[in-house]
Amino acid sequence: MEISGHTQMLCLIGSPVGHSGSPAMYNYSFRKLGLDYAYLAFDIQEQETAEAIRALRLLNVRGFNITMPGKTAAMACCDELSQAARLIGAVNTVVNEQGRLTGHNTDGLGWVHNCREHGFEIRGAKMTIAGSGGAATAIQITSALEGVREMSIFAMKDAFYANAEATVEKIRASVPECVVRLYDLADRDRLYGEIGDSDIFTNATPVGMKPMDDRSLIEDRGVFRRDLVVSDVVYNPRVTRLLADAQAAGCRTVPGIGMLLWQGAEAFKLYTGQEMPVKEVEERYFAEGGK
């Protein structure tokens, strides 16, 4: 479909954005479904976020994604926030409905959807999860909202630890039926103990990502029971050491790349009301060494 006077714009804002796969993924999907939209990427620094959003409001774009570093600054620019975005404290998708901007956070939903695609349902489950940064918070809050029964969070005692404390408070206040506890990640015996009666373990730290790709938070491979599901947010490499060890022990694994794919698919649905052609997008843009 050619760009015309009726074409509606969508975009990504953040910095850097040059490496982003989002323009290719969305524009391919618009063409495939015959939708009259075009998607661009703009390099916007954190302190420019509010001004950029004012401009996008004036241009009446259909919506936009926000990547680092503006995900938190964007919250104050929205007229409304979804419950997940409000509790996570970050917005990655904004939809414009007749001039009203609603901020969403699809990162956690992308993770939940990815698990579902791999045959694992978070509702009613017990999860042990390591991490207290952006990815971890999105997964923890969304899992609580999606009905996880019990969650044991393990976090390093660094500058991010207070995030985890705040997340625990928010979950206790907003989803009291979810039993949530916070532990020091340095206590490996407790970590292994909590994984012992969990349905799923999730790594939401960069451990396992290049250049830490020879590392895994789980050194004791005896932890990997056959009925444990193991998920990683790291997608570079696609199969982390954690996932390779878990696979070798016969566990079902959920790779991080699917979270990236499905958070985009969730945003696509919010913008267009239609399903993104996920299979084609995955084969074309998400395979290791793909476009």
What residues are annotated to the active site?
Answer: 71
Which C-beta is closer to ligand NAD: that of 30 or that of 262? 262
Q: Interior CA angle at 105 toward 100 and 110, to 5°?
A: 135
Which C-beta is closer to ligand NAD: that of 214 or that of 227? 214
Which C-beta is closer to ligand NAD: that of 69 or that of 147? 69
Instruction: Quote the CA–CA distance of 113 and 72 in Å, as a whole number.
Output: 23
Coil, strand, or helix at residue 169?
helix
Full strand arrangement of the beta sheet holding 37-43: 37-43, 8-14, 63-66, 93-97, 100-104, 80-81
117 Cβ contact partners less than 8 Å away, ≥ 6 residues apart: 258, 262
25 is a site residue for ligand NAD (CB under 6 A) = no
Q: Identify residues 54-83 at the interface with ligand NAD (CB under 6 A).
A: none
Rg over alpha carbons for the chain, rounded to the nearest Å, is 19
Min CB(11)–ligand NAD separation in Å: 19
Residue 63 has which token pair?
């919506």
53 is a site residue for ligand NAD (CB under 6 A) = no
x/- site string to ligand NAD, residues 197 to 226, per CB under 6 A? --------xxx-x-----------------
108 is a site residue for ligand NAD (CB under 6 A) = no
Scanning 5-13, 173-181, 193-201, 232-240 for contacts with ligand NAD by CB under 6 A, the matching segment is 232-240
Instruction: Quote the CA–CA distance of 44 and 71 in Å, as a whole number.
Output: 11
Give 3-state DSSP helix, strand, coil % of the chain, rounded to 5: 40, 20, 40
Which H/E stretch holds residue 126?
A: strand 126-130
For ligand NAD, the binding residue among 75, 131, 171, 224 (CB under 6 A) is: 131
Q: Identify residues 140-179 at the interface with ligand NAD (CB under 6 A).
A: 155-156, 158, 160
For ligand NAD, the binding residue among 132, 198, 202, 240 (CB under 6 A) is: 132
Interacting residues with ligand NAD (CB under 6 A):
107, 131-136, 155-156, 158, 160, 185, 205-207, 209, 233-235, 256, 259-260, 263
